[in-house]
């Protein structure tokens, strides 16, 4: 199996194994609010150009960037390309996930593409993504391209086409263990665990 296919398979397994958890369902029915220092809209082509501290919000979805280009099709679906300036901060995205706990998906890249129709966030170039629960990172990935499909709650890590063959272009996955080391547990929890394991 190629490094690209390995990265894709691992990324899919990592998030799908977390259970039946989906991105905040209410987000798809929320209005899209965009703030920027400068902007203009072409009413004929339905294209909006934005620059300077661009901030997009749609429910719990948040994307921050230096520049953005927004287009809208005849059905009203939006397609937004957000980019970082050379030497500037990467584009940042964050979205809450449905579930009983405080769960979020977030990441950054030099370029982020949000597609309203497919509910996909695509991170391109120096891409990083991580899943958090109550502020703690449960797993993370980095690579050339990360496509986060919020509707299906999975992400895919692949290489960008046309890249150079030199260097290590493999994706990196870091999965935190769900089990805890009993030696690192609080004294009361460790005692309870030990008592539970003592045969009667």
Residue with the larger pLDDT of the pair 22 and 69:
69
Sign of torsion over alpha carbons 37, 42, 43, 48: negative
Domain of 188: which CATH number?
2.60.450.10
Asked if pLDDT for residue 197 goes beyond 70, the answer is no
Identify the residue whose tokens are 């099709």: 73
Which residue bears the tokens 């005849």? 74
State yes or no: pLDDT of 188 exceeds 90: no
Say whether pLDDT at 179 is over 80: no
Domain count, the chain: 1
Residue 4 phi, psi dihedral angles, 5° rounding: -65, -45
199 has pLDDT over 50: no
pLDDT band at residue 54 under the 50/70/90 scheme: very high
Q: How would residue 143 be classed by pLDDT, with cut points 50, 70 and 90?
A: very high
Whole-model pTM? Answer: 0.72
Quickly tell me which residue has 């980019």 as its tokens. 83
Query: 29-39 as b/e, with b when 16 or more CB fall inside 10 Å?
Result: eeebebebeee
Domain of 164 in residue numbering reads as 3-196
Q: Is the pLDDT of residue 97 over 90?
A: no
- 12-21, 114-123, 128-137: least confident range: 12-21
């Amino acid at each position: 199996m190629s490094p690209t296919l390995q990265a894709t398979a691992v990324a899919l397994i990592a998030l799908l194994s977390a259970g039946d958890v989906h991105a905040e369902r209410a987000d798809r029915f929320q209005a899209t609010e965009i703030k920027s220092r400068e902007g203009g809209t072409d009413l004929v082509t339905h294209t909006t150009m934005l620059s300077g501290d661009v901030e997009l919000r749609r429910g719990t979805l948040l994307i921050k960037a230096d520049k953005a280009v927004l287009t809208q099709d005849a059905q009203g679906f939006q397609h937004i390309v957000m980019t970082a300036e050379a030497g500037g901060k990467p584009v940042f995205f964050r979205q809450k996930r449905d579930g009983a706990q405080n769960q979020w998906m977030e990441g950054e890249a030099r370029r982020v593409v949000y597609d309203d129709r497919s509910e996909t966030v695509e991170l391109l170039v120096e891409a990083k993504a991580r899943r958090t629960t109550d502020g703690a990172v449960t797993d993370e990935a980095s690579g050339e391209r990360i496509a986060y499909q919020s509707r299906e709650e999975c992400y895919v890590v692949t290489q960008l086409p046309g890249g150079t063959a030199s260097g290590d272009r493999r994706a990196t996955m870091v999965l935190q263990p769900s089990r805890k080391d009993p030696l690192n547990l609080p004294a009361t929890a460790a005692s309870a665990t030990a008592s539970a394991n003592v045969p009667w």
